C-alpha cells in the first residue's frame, strides 16, 4: 500500500548552510523529483525524510502518521519507507540473495531469487558486491529496497553510477517495479534527464531554498524563473541592467515585465538564437564549436562571458566572429523566485 508524504516548514540548520523552510506534498503513488545543483541541499533533505538526519524544525508525515517533528523522530526502519543509495551501499560480505533475505525478514531464498530475476540478476544470486558491475550493484540496491515491500521509495541519484548504456534499462526496471506496487517515489538528483525520466512532479532547489515546484510538464513549458530554465532546459541566462528606459540586454533594451522587481535575466532557450556571418543588428560572438543539426548547424558561441548555442545555415569557421539575433520575443525572468509554499496542513 502506498502512502502520501507531506513536508511542512522543514528547516535544517548546519554550520554555514541553511535548508528551507520547505513545504511540499506527494500524494500516494505520486512520483516527485527534488532537483538542484550540487550543494543545494537535496541529499540533506532526503536524509531527513529517511530519518538518517534530524531536521531543525518542521513536520514530516508519511500517510497520516507524523514521523518527524519537534517531539518525534521515528527511526528509519519505523517510517515504512526504503532508500536506494547513490552507489548501492551494498553489504560487502553478503551475497546478492542474502541482501534480499536479510532486508526482508520472512522472504525465502526462492522468492529472493525470483525478485533478483526481475532485475536480471538471477545468475548473480550467490555473488558478492565486489563481483558485480556498477549497474548490477545499483539494481541490487534497488531490489533490496523493494524486497520488504515499502510504502514509499526514496532514491538518491540512482543512475549516477550506472553506465550510460544501461541507464535506459535501469529506468525501465525502476518504473516497472514502482508502478506495479503503486509506490510513492521521491527522487533526489542533480541530473535533469534522470529527474524527467523518473518523475512526474518536480521540486527545484537552489542554495537551500525551494525556487519552484509543480508538474514537470508545466515547469518545462513555462519556467517561472531563470534558474529553473537554466537547470531544466539548458537555457542561457544573460545578465541585464535595469534603468528608467527599461531592461538593457546585449540584444537591446526591452520593457520591464509588469510585477517583476528582482534580478532579471534574459533567458534564451536552445534554438531561440540565430547566428550569421554577415553583420546584423545583434551582438557578436566567437564560434567555439560547430555540430551538424537537422537543418543546418548548431553552434556553441562565447557571447561575452557566457556560453550560448545558436542555429546557423552554414558551418562557420571555429574561432570566427558570428553575429547573433533572437528568433523569438525576449524572455525576461527573475533569476530565482522564492516559491510560494504549497498549501499543506501539518
Partner 1 sequence: MQNRARTDLLSKAPLWLALLFLAIFVLLPMLQLAGQTCFGPDGFTLRAWSALFDDEAIATQVAATLQLGGAATALSLLLGGGHAWLTTRTDLPGGGWLGPLGIAPLVVPPIFVAMGFADLFPAEGFWPCAILLGVAHAPFVAVLAARGLRAVDGRAYEAALLLRGRARAERWLLRAIAPELLAGCLLAFLFTVADHGVPEFLTVKGKTWHTYAEGIFGRWTRRAVGTTFEELQSPIVAALPFLACLGCLLWAALRLRAAAPDRGVVTALPVRRLGPWRWPALLLPLGYLLAGVGLPVFVLLRWVLGSAQRLEPMSLDYARQSFQKAIDQGLPDLLHSVWLAIAVALLVVLLAVPLARQSGRRWPLLDLVAALPAAVPAILLGIALIRSFHDGPVLQRFGDRFDQSWAFAACAYAARFLPFAALTLASQVRRLPLAAEEAGRFVLRPPASRALRLHVLPLLPAVWSAWVLTFVLALRELDLAVVLPAANATAVRRLANAVHFQHEDWSGVIALLLLSVAVLVPLVPALLFGRRLSSLS
Site of interaction with partner 1 (CB under 8 A): 50-52, 75-77, 81-83, 85-87, 89-94, 102-105, 141, 144-145, 148
Least CB distance from residue 199 to partner 1, whole Å?
21
Is 149 or 168 the residue whose CB approaches partner 1 more closely? 149
Is 142 or 303 the residue whose CB approaches partner 1 more closely? 142
Q: Which three cell numbers stand for residue 84?
A: 536506494
Residue 156: name the closest of 48, 278, 264 by CA.
48
Residues in a beta bridge with 238: 266
Is 87 or 276 the residue whose CB approaches partner 1 more closely? 87
Is 102 or 321 the residue whose CB approaches partner 1 more closely? 102
Whole-number Å distance between alpha carbons of 81 and 151: 6
Least CB distance from residue 21 to partner 1, whole Å?
26
Least CB distance from residue 178 to partner 1, whole Å?
17
Is 146 or 285 the residue whose CB approaches partner 1 more closely? 146
Least CB distance from residue 291 to partner 1, whole Å?
32
Residue 73: name the closest of 85, 59, 84, 63 by CA.
59
Is 76 or 214 the residue whose CB approaches partner 1 more closely? 76
User: How many C-beta neighbours within 10 Å does residue 30 have?
Assistant: 18
Least CB distance from residue 136 to partner 1, whole Å?
16
Length of the chain (residues): 346
Is 89 or 255 the residue whose CB approaches partner 1 more closely? 89
Residue 122: name the closest of 143, 148, 92, 106 by CA.
143
Least CB distance from residue 56 to partner 1, whole Å?
20
Q: Which three cell numbers stand for residue 276?
A: 550569421
Least CB distance from residue 148 to partner 1, whole Å?
6
Residue 266: name the closest of 214, 328, 220 by CA.
328
Amino acid at each position: 500500500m502506498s502512502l502520501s508524504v507531506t513536508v511542512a516548514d522543514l528547516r535544517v540548520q548546519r554550520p554555514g548552510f541553511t535548508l528551507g523552510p520547505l513545504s511540499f506534498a506527494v500524494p500516494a503513488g505520486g512520483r516527485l523529483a527534488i532537483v538542484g545543483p550540487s550543494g543545494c541541499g537535496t541529499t540533506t533533505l532526503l536524509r531527513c525524510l529517511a530519518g538518517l538526519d534530524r531536521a531543525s524544525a518542521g513536520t514530516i508525515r508519511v500517510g497520516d502518521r507524523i514521523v518527524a517533528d519537534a517531539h518525534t523522530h521515528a527511526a528509519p526502519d519505523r517510517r515504512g519507507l526504503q532508500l536506494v543509495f547513490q552507489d548501492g551501499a551494498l553489504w560487502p560480505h553478503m551475497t546478492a540473495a542474502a541482501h534480499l533475505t536479510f532486508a526482508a525478514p520472512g522472504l525465502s531464498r526462492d522468492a529472493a531469487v525470483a525478485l533478483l530475476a526481475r532485475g536480471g540478476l538471477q545468475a548473480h544470486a550467490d555473488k558478492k558486491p565486489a563481483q558485480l558491475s556498477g549497474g548490477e550493484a545499483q539494481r541490487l540496491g534497488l531490489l533490496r529496497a523493494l524486497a520488504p515491500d515499502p510504502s514509499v521509495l526514496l532514491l538518491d541519484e540512482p543512475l549516477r553510477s550506472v553506465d550510460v548504456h544501461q541507464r535506459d534499462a535501469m529506468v525501465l526496471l525502476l518504473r516497472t517495479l514502482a508502478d506495479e506496487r503503486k509506490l510513492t517515489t521521491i527522487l533526489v538528483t542533480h541530473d535533469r534527464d534522470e529527474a524527467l525520466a523518473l518523475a512526474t512532479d518536480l521540486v527545484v532547489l537552489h542554495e537551500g531554498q525551494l525556487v519552484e515546484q509543480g508538474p514537470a510538464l508545466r515547469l518545462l513549458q513555462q519556467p517561472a524563473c531563470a534558474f529553473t530554465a537554466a537547470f531544466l532546459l539548458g537555457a542561457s541566462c544573460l545578465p541585464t541592467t535595469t534603468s528608467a528606459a527599461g531592461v538593457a540586454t546585449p540584444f537591446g533594451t526591452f520593457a520591464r515585465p509588469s510585477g517583476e522587481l528582482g534580478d532579471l535575466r534574459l533567458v534564451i532557450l536552445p534554438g531561440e538564437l540565430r547566428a550569421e556571418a554577415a553583420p546584423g543588428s545583434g551582438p557578436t560572438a566567437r564560434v567555439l564549436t560547430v555540430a551538424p543539426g537537422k537543418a543546418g548547424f548548431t553552434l556553441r558561441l562565447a557571447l561575452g562571458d557566457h556560453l550560448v548555442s545558436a542555429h546557423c545555415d552554414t558551418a562557420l569557421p571555429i574561432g570566427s566572429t558570428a553575429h547573433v539575433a533572437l528568433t523569438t520575443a525576449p524572455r525576461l525572468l527573475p533569476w530565482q523566485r522564492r516559491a510560494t509554499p504549497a498549501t499543506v496542513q501539518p
